[in-house]
Amino acid sequence: MLQFSGLTLPLSSSGEDALAAALKKARLRPAQLAGWGVTRLSVDARHGRPKLVWGIGVTLAPGLREEDFSAPGVQVKREMPLTITPGPKRASGRPVVCGLGPAGLFAALLLARHGAKPLVLERGPSIERRAAAVDAFFAGGPLDENANIQFGEGGAGTFSDGKLTTRIGDPLCDYVRRTLLEHGAPEEIVWQAKPHIGTDRLREVILSLRREIERLGGAVRFDTRLIGLIRREGRLAGVETDAGPIETDTLVLAIGHSARDTFEMLRSAGLTLEAKPFSVGFRAEHLQSEIDRALYHEAAGHPALPPGEYQLSAHPGGRGVYTFCMCPGGRVVAAASEAGGVCTNGMSYHARDGANANAAVVAEVKPEEFGGDPMRAVAFQRELERAAFALREDYTAPAQDLESFLAGRPGLRLGRVAPTYPRGVAAADLGALFPEKLTAARRQGLRAFGRKLPGYCAPDTLLTGPETRTSSPVRIPRGADCQSAQLPGLYPCGEGAGYAGGIVSAAVDGLRAARSILETVRYE
């Protein structure tokens, strides 16, 4: 693919105009293209009248080489194939994959594509039953601790914005995007610099991926929880589940960042768990139109422009404060997975057409603040969630307007921004919910954000919390081959093992684990 950047055109320009400018730059003709799309679109408001700045990606017709059309501002991007050298010895049985989030899903898919016929264990239900359970909880029903925003087919990313952005730069990212496209993801994920699927489209893709695994001989057991590990002669010999034992010498452990009971089981089984940094905070909601105006200036509302996105950070007193998982046109959702705890997250549909924008505003928490003990960090997350629940003894979320939060006074004065959290919000002092050092850092961070993005600190900005599940506070050590040195045959991966953050990076880590298995033994 050829990527063209920095194509500056008038506000009245269209994607076709930007394509024409790109073709002229590389001396290409429309007949020489196999396809094209908009990779990026932004606004340059400097020097008076705003202009659109386009990025365009094109694929060439068969027989043409990208190198023959190089020019300033043109980059060649190639997909890297996933190659596997099969292991020297035959596998003794089928591998087990624990968890059907992005890491487990892609690990199982790659194993299935190479004849391994994996058995997948998922503590929650299928996507259809999970969506029904989530809808019921949003509507005021009881919490199902195994069928919620965190647990069930697809993992936590299923009920999110479906972002496919990542900073890891691994060639396996191409495999992930190509596979998602094969299973129904929107075509623009190939072109866009910041692709997203949306929770509505992502559910269909996940179901299609699972069906391929099953079609290739894999099996999925829903509502099945991992409760123990079986050892024999110093290595993995099987797993204990709440439905009975399963013999296996290979386990891909892709449990997700909220499997707190599994963390406790692993530690009780003698495995070392390490503490890693994580972050906590709350969701900030603005009118999407105000975010668009701050980012696009006079161009706000232009039909070619997508809903505005932002990513902000500051380091007051050496502590990182940043926005996380920004959901344009989205909503704040009830993300609890334990009874008696309130937890929030953000979600967008593919169209991103809601009235509000939201993002987590979080402060970094460092391992040394818990003496390096990951279970103390897990306990801290749980304490925040329970404290929020205790304010009303239900799943109503504590909320506060930004002006009150910055002034250090409790209360909630609703203005233009209507709450989207489905279980309802109640006035609270969000500052008092967290340790003072974290509250002070977020106040300083928010003021810094207001200086960077006009209108960000509007008085009626709505804060809803707590947000505690940004990432796992736990890392499960492994070697370069993705295998546990303490228990050969165990392959910890994904967000729950502390090696990923987001849909694509988790999927890539699952592929790494599966590739390592396939290059150790052969199944075909």
CA gap 381, 521 in Å, rounded: 40
Q: What is the DSSP string of 276-330?
A: --EEEEEEEEEEHHHHHHHHHGGGTT-TTSPPP----EE-GGG--EEEEEEETT-
181: Cβ contacts below 8 Å, ≥ 6 apart: 187, 189, 190
pTM: 0.92
Annotate 366-379 with b (16+ C-beta within 10 A) or e (fewer): ebebbeeebbebbe
Instruction: Outline where 3-125 has alpha helix (H).
Output: 15-26, 102-113
Q: Which of 315, 334, 377 is nearest to 467 (CA)?
A: 334
CA gap 311, 399 in Å, rounded: 22
- pLDDT at residue 188, rounded to an integer: 80
Can you give the length of the chain in residues?
A: 524
CA gap 54, 41 in Å, rounded: 5
Q: What is the pLDDT along the chain (524 residues), one digit of tens a residue?
A: 899 999 999 988 999 999 999 999 999 999 999 999 988 888 887 766 788 999 999 999 999 999 888 888 898 887 778 889 999 999 999 999 999 999 999 999 999 999 999 999 999 999 999 999 999 999 999 999 999 999 999 998 888 877 777 766 788 988 998 999 999 988 887 777 677 888 888 999 999 999 999 999 999 999 999 999 999 999 999 999 999 999 999 999 999 999 999 999 999 999 999 999 999 999 999 999 999 999 998 889 888 888 999 999 999 999 999 999 999 999 999 999 999 999 999 999 988 999 999 999 999 999 999 999 999 999 999 999 999 999 999 999 999 999 999 999 999 999 999 999 999 999 999 999 999 999 999 999 999 999 999 999 999 999 999 999 999 999 999 999 999 999 999 999 999 999 998 999 999 999 999 999 999 999 97
- pLDDT at residue 320, rounded to an integer: 97
Maximum distance among all alpha carbons in the chain?
73
Q: Are 445 and 253 in contact (CB under 8 A)?
A: no
Residue 353 corresponds to which amino acid?
D
Sign of CA dihedral 25, 30, 35, 40: positive
Q: Are 463 and 282 in contact (CB under 8 A)?
A: yes
Intra-chain end-to-end CA distance of the chain, in Å: 34
Domain 2-76 -> CATH class? alpha beta
CA gap 412, 404 in Å, rounded: 7
- pLDDT at residue 40, rounded to an integer: 87
Strands 96-98 and 251-253: parallel
- For domain 89-273+476-522, which CATH number applies: 3.30.1280.10, 2.40.110.10, 3.50.50.60, 3.40.50.1970? 3.50.50.60
- pLDDT at residue 148, rounded to an integer: 97
* Distances, alpha carbon 46 to alpha carbons 53, 148, 304, in Å: 12, 46, 19
How is the chain split into domains, by residue range?
2-76, 89-273+476-522, 275-467
Cα 399 to its chain centre, rounded Å, is 24
